[in-house]
Structure 1
Amino acid sequence: MQVEEQSYTLETFNVDERCDKNNEDNLHSCVKKAIQAIIKEEHYSSYKKRVKPIIPDGGNYLASLYEIGITGETDDGVKEINLFVKQAVPADNLHGFLDIDRAYLKEVFFYTELSNIFDTLQSKANVPAEFRFKYVKCFKQSGTQAIIMENLAKKDFKVPYRMDIMPMKFAESSAKELAKFHALSFVIEKEMPEYYKNTIENEKTVLNFNDKYVSDTLATVNCLCHGDYRMNNILAKEENGEITVIPIDYQLLFYGSPVTDLIYLLYSSADSEFRKNHERHIKDIYRRTMDEFLKYFDIDMEKVFPTEVFERDFERMRGLGFYVTLVLLPICYSDESNVVEPGSDLINKTIHVDKRFQERVAGVCEEYIKYKENYVNA
């Protein structure tokens, strides 16, 4: 299978161009050009454009968010498209913790290249439409300044509230999609070994925070990992008692152990009580889904990702869950009256947390003590 190499233009913007939340149409100039290119590509003869900034709610840090609706006349009649725009924040407040240009390029890579490979492989294997890995439509005009996607809020998809504990159905569906995402790496390794070696294995993290935990993410079995698989990065829609989820936000993609994503989900989006009662069930859902999905490609899960390795790596890397949770929780639980704004200086900012934060952290600390007694010191 041949894949064309993609090249992207790195455009920079001045810090003074940062988002002014009081101005509805304060998009960077190159983002405005991208929107105009989409309008031209959609063959509008006349149109009206509505730009609505999304008020920060503490669930997002690396982008200013916009909804853009375009309605107008085409040769085929009236047409409406709804866009969701993630506009990059300046990097001056990131203190070198994250390479934001690389982060946006990772997401462009996923939506413009990797998703096409996923589609081709799943079609070739005759994976049923309802069982395929799901992702949002992204426009090719996306780049380092903004990711431009279909606005699925118009189709009743929502992101769960950041302080909630994920519901069981949501957790099950999220584990299933994660299993398929990881499984597709094993499929690429089988069907496109050179691409896997040259591209997938070279996806390094854009984070620079703790070398110990970054190095520990590599294990016996590795694949392409989401890197930020939490409730706020998963769209959900409930219909007739069934829930459909679509993972989003691929800016932290990296090559490492697949268990890191599952640990991240269970520790960022659930509390100790949930893990105590349901962790085994969610892990089993993940494994069963991966096994079933890989069978379409004639791959034996136990040969590429043995259960013994999965269980061993999960316990070995559980410490990452404690670490990431304690780093992430203050942002997730920032008080409604003082949310962390996109691009704000987290080092020099005082974060006021909701009263639920203390209970959640206490549970994590108690869990860590038991983990050290039963696993680390065993």
Structure 2
Amino acid sequence: MMNINTELVLRQLLDKIADEQNYKEPNISVHAITSGGANYTSILYLATISQQNKDELKLFAKVAIMSDVARSHYYLPLFDLERFAYTNLLPRYADIQDRNQISEENKLVWPKFYGCNPNLYEETIVLENLVANGFNPYDRFKSINWAYASKAVETLAKFHALSIAYGEENPTEYAQLLEKMKFDPNSVARVSGAFTKLVKMALAVTKEENRERLKAYIEKEGDLVNMAKSRQENFVGLNVLTHGGFRPSNLMHRTKADGTIEVIPVDFQTITANSPVVDLFHFIFTGSDEEFRREHYEQLVEHYYQELSRALRNLNLDPNQLYPKENYKKDIEYFLPIGLIIGLFTLPVITVESENAPSFEGKDGMNSIACTKTSNLYPERLNGIVNDYVRWGIL
């Protein structure tokens, strides 16, 4: 990987954006920020473009820092996907919402896009600064609560409903896109070594009464590639464009004056063709603890289907025809084991203290996840998931 001056790369793009936004003699300020251990692929910046007698433009930017090793490990072209989302997919979704006269309350909302740099090692995207409008990410060290979770799931349902609507309007084009975006199970072979280490980390902190159950289950399922293939190749349920990383760290939220919560998805780097319930489980098992799931798991699963049905009806589509409740229940049952795998893979970095967060810049690439110095929260969250899967009869 070349040694890139990320701020210089960003400033060149900001100069172009300032000109496009009609700032003729702009003052451009830039400063790097930290995600607090929630972002590993990019350096994050806040920027402002200002000019006398003109409103200040408050921006957020990401500049890629992934090493060649990390890029070779990852199973998706992250930066290409996010650029596709903002320049192609989301504008199509906006058009679908406008043509169906979706009210502001019922619309899916995403950050305003200002520009990007597609050049290799310089991949940059510039968006509106949501923090300046009162939005913030959820505290990843705290379990989600019902008020937040229910609104996040409502947002997820809108995202999936727009994918379904896209398919109904353009079936041939959509089928080609799903094929292009299809997850390749063989691609995870690149991180099989890291997964083996993550399993060892999990077994080391699993409570003694459940350790052999977890070990036996993983040995029965086989290696990571086999696990991925078994879920993918036998799946016959609903296939949509999923977010792929729908977790609290990739959502921004704010509480409105009336006390309701507004949630906006960000980080569209992992869009994949998959079952919508995979997104739902990603959110549940990365964002909640055992106590939340005992109280709200079934309620949240039901809430998602209700909201997806509502979002489809708002788009003049029939949920009973496109995704009957019995089919949804089958998909929930079929994909439930994936929540355990999501937990094994993500909990070390979701619960890591900021100063110990892994980096994708170096020679270890994504394998640095398996070298993470875990926090005290890790065994608590991990054992909570194991307890659930024992209770559900999977372990």
TM-score range relative to shorter protein: 0.7 to 0.9
Quote the residue 2:89 is aligned against. 114
Structure 1 stretches of at least 4 aligned residues deviating more than 6 Å after TM superposition: none
Indicate which of 25, 45, 61 corresponds to 1:85. 61
> Which consecutive residues of structure 1, in runs of 5 or more, have no partner in the other structure?
1-13, 19-25
Quote the residue 1:27 is aligned against. 7
Quote the residue 1:361 is aligned against. 382
Residue 244 of structure 1 aligns to a residue whose secondary structure is strand
- Percent identical pairs in the alignment equals 24
Residue 46 of structure 2 aligns to a residue whose secondary structure is strand
8 Å CA contact retained: 2:154, 2:307 = yes
Quote the residue 1:16 is aligned against. 3
Q: Distance in 2 between matches of 1:239 and 1:219?
A: 40
**Superposition deviation, residue 302 in structure 1:** 1.9
Quote the residue 1:238 is aligned against. 255
Quote the residue 2:99 is aligned against. 124
- More relative contact order, 1 or 2 (CA 8 Å, 6+ apart): 2
8 Å CA contact retained: 2:83, 2:116 = no
Quote the residue 1:97 is aligned against. 73
1:192-271 correspondence to structure 2 within 5 Å: 192-205=170-183, 208=188, 209=191, 210-215=224-229, 216-217=231-232, 218-240=235-257, 241-271=259-289
Question: Structure 1 residues 45-54 or 88-97, which shifts more?
Answer: 88-97
**Superposition deviation, residue 194 in structure 1:** 2.1
1:73-131 CA-partner distances (Å, limit 9, x unpaired): 4xxx323111111111133341722157x211111111111111111111111111210
1:132-164 CA-partner distances (Å, limit 9, x unpaired): 111111123343511211111100100012211
Alignment partner of 1:54 is 2:33: yes
Residue 16 of structure 1 aligns to a residue whose secondary structure is coil
Q: Distance in 1 between matches of 2:107 and 2:387?
A: 39
8 Å CA contact retained: 2:281, 2:336 = yes
Q: Do the aligned partners of residues 37 and 63 (structure 1) sit closer, same or farther apart at CA in structure 2, a change above 3 Å counting? A: same
Indicate which of 310, 313, 333 corresponds to 2:351. 333
Q: Do the aligned partners of residues 244 and 142 (structure 1) sit closer, same or farther apart at CA in structure 2, a change above 3 Å counting? A: farther
8 Å CA contact retained: 2:62, 2:125 = yes
Indicate which of 358, 367, 375 corresponds to 1:347. 367
Q: Do the aligned partners of residues 140 and 56 (structure 1) sit closer, same or farther apart at CA in structure 2, a change above 3 Å counting? A: closer
**Superposition deviation, residue 214 in structure 1:** 3.7
8 Å CA contact retained: 1:63, 1:343 = no
Residue 115 of structure 2 aligns to a residue whose secondary structure is coil
> Which consecutive residues of structure 2, in runs of 5 or more, have no partner in the other structure?
192-223
Question: Structure 1 residues 257-266 or 134-143, which shifts more?
Answer: 134-143
Residue 345 of structure 2 aligns to a residue whose secondary structure is helix
Alignment partner of 1:276 is 2:294: yes
1:187-237 CA-partner distances (Å, limit 9, x unpaired): 111111122122234213486343334442444211101100000000001
Q: Do the aligned partners of residues 56 and 341 (structure 1) sit closer, same or farther apart at CA in structure 2, a change above 3 Å counting? A: farther
Matched residue type, 2:375? D
**Superposition deviation, residue 298 in structure 1:** 2.8
Q: Distance in 2 between matches of 1:337 and 1:116?
A: 38
**Superposition deviation, residue 51 in structure 1:** 0.9
8 Å CA contact retained: 2:239, 2:273 = yes
Q: Do the aligned partners of residues 99 and 39 (structure 1) sit closer, same or farther apart at CA in structure 2, a change above 3 Å counting? A: farther
Quote the residue 1:140 is aligned against. 115
Matched residue type, 2:144? M
8 Å CA contact retained: 1:201, 1:223 = no
Quote the residue 1:293 is aligned against. 311
**Superposition deviation, residue 28 in structure 1:** 5.1
8 Å CA contact retained: 2:28, 2:49 = yes
1:288-311 CA-partner distances (Å, limit 9, x unpaired): 111112113332112211211211
Question: Structure 1 residues 220-229 or 184-193, which shifts more?
Answer: 184-193
Residue 126 of structure 1 aligns to a residue whose secondary structure is coil
Indicate which of 185, 191, 201 corresponds to 2:169. 191
1:161-176 correspondence to structure 2 within 5 Å: 161-176=139-154
* Aligned length in residues: 349
1:329-375 CA-partner distances (Å, limit 9, x unpaired): 1111112432334535353573222212111111112222233xx35
Matched residue type, 2:327? V
Q: Distance in 2 between matches of 1:160 and 1:352?
A: 22
Question: Structure 1 residues 254-263 or 135-144, which shifts more?
Answer: 135-144
8 Å CA contact retained: 2:157, 2:304 = yes
Root-mean-square deviation (Å): 2.1
